Amino acid sequence: MTPTMMIMTKEDLKGLGAPDLVYVREIRASDVLADAEVTTAPGFTIDPDSVLYAVHGADGERLAVMMDRETAFAAAVAHELEPVSVH
């Protein structure tokens, strides 16, 4: 029997875990700035080299970015999600 390769979609990956499972990981501010159109807020600056914490769905989609790990976990829990840490 010849092994076959299955290509999984984002929906397939999301279906592997619980629908409320999210992961939190470190991300550089420069990555966020490169991926999104950022509107300048008066009095707010961010160092592109600073470390932020991103909350991702099981399919890898970035759902939110927070200034610190504790806030990222708290935001996930507040939205009835189950956060796990990824290194």
Q: What is the DSSP string of the chain?
A: ------PPPHHHHHHHS-TTEEEEEEEEHHHHHHHS--PPPTT----TTSEEEEEEETTS-EEEEESSHHHHHHHHHHTT-EEEE--
Local mean pLDDT, 10-residue blocks, the chain (87 residues): 66 66 93 78 84 91 93 95 84
